Copies of this chain bind each other. A is one copy, B any other.
Amino acid sequence: MISCPKCSEVGSIMKAGYVRNKQRYVCKDCNYFFTLTNPESPVPRKKARRHQTTIIDIARSIGVSNSTVSRALHGHADISPETRQAVLNMASQMDYQPNQLAYNLVKSRTNTIGMIVPEFHNPFFPNVIIGAHHVLTEAGYNLTIMQSNESYPVEVSNTKAMLANRIDGLLISMTQETNNFDHLKVFEKRGIPLILFNRVCDHVEVPKVVVNDFDASFSAVEHLILNGYERIAHLGGPLTLLVSRERLRGYRAAMEKHGKSIEENMIIQGMFSQQKARIYGKYLLELENRPDAIFAVNDSAAIEIMLLAMEKGIRIPEELGVVGFSDNPESAYIGPGLTTVRQPTLEMGATTAEWILQMVDSETEIAMPTQKILKTELVVRGSSRRVCDI
């Protein structure tokens, strides 16, 4: 017979339905509902999972408490040299690896910096990563990288993932689509250090690391003008990006300074795949009155222009001057060499990393510089050198 687990009554037990396919009973006396638990499986929670040795395992095997083990492992005080040694020995013997997850949970910090970049195709961002990676590793931090792939939704989901993973700080360079910044303001609200680099915006008040795009563009175009080029076209980046607008502004400023008229149909803005660069380059070079120089937003576009010119028999630099941006490795070797703007990518990565470390390591609110403008360098090569300067 079944007896009530509470009042031990036997006679007043009645069936009371099923719950999860198990018969359920009720004791009419004490109004206690219950099901019969199978005494055969007293430890149903025991999973067959592979067990990683924990602090508790060590503690049990040498008969101390887990707090003692924790102290020994971290070299804290309040522990005798003998027990510490015993713990250390047992730890290495049992092949103990600390569980960083649990550590992070209780300390609510992860020793990890996140980085979101828009693309991986140009060597620019990989180089920034190298620079940041080095500094962070030195400081004992990890770096997780996510790629937004030039997509705003992906960027938003990336920031959410970073938030969920409780990174200690975020470095981000935005996509060309991004024109809403709520996903970044969350970081401000939460007090999580955030730094923008390269692809920045004005709507978030955090430190920013950029290059002097305006100056770089200005001196690149001025260099073309000083080499006797008159009608300079501009293959610019998407105008959603501040860098593109700055470079366009530099282009215009240099042209105006030297009294060159700007032909608006020779300014093309957009995101150039190799294919698109070729199409627009074709358009420019087949123009009725074609430009005698082209300032391109990046080296891959510039190189595409050069190849196109070579195919058409247009001589570089005599008939066409070309200047790129970024100084890709191949730019030094193509044809007469591509004049281009070298960007301090490693330094950019290092600077963002150093700054985020400052922000993360400081307990209190710390005054950070609002912006750092890194200096670029115009690398003059054959593609634009028409006058003999010595």
Contact = CB atoms under 8 A, between A and B. Distances in A.
Interface in A105-151: 105, 108, 110, 120, 123, 126, 129-130, 133, 137, 142-147
A332 B191 CA distance: 48
B330 A164 contact: no
Contacts of A129: 120
A190 interface: yes
A143 B164 CA distance: 15
Given A120-B126, A143-B145, A147-B137, A101 B165 contact: yes
A146 B134 CA distance: 10
A100 interface: yes
Contacts of A137: 146-147
Interface in A56-75: none
Q: Which of A99, A189, A330, A333 has the most CB of B within 10 A?
A: A333
B161 A142 contact: yes
Interface in A76-117: 95, 97-102, 104-105, 108, 110
A10 interface: no
Contacts of A144: 142-145
A160 B126 contact: no
B147 A133 contact: yes
Contact of A190 (B50, B104, B126): B50
B102 A105 contact: yes
A8 interface: no
Interface string A181-203: 00000100111000000000000
A105 to B, nearest CB: 5
B328 A49 contact: no
Q: What size tier do the contact residues of chain A reach?
A: 35 or more
B101 A105 contact: yes
A104 B93 CA distance: 27
A334 B303 CA distance: 13
Interface in A188-230: 189-191
A166 B147 CA distance: 22
Nearest to A121: B130
Contacts of A153: none
Contact of A101 (B97, B101, B186, B189): B101
B105 A105 contact: yes
Interface of A: 49-50, 52, 95, 97-102, 104-105, 108, 110, 120, 123, 126, 129-130, 133, 137, 142-147, 160-161, 163-166, 186, 189-191, 303, 328-330, 332-335
16 contacts: A50-B190, A52-B190, A95-B189, A97-B163, A97-B186, A101-B101, A101-B104, A120-B133, A123-B123, A137-B147, A142-B146, A142-B161, A144-B144, A145-B145, A328-B329, A330-B332
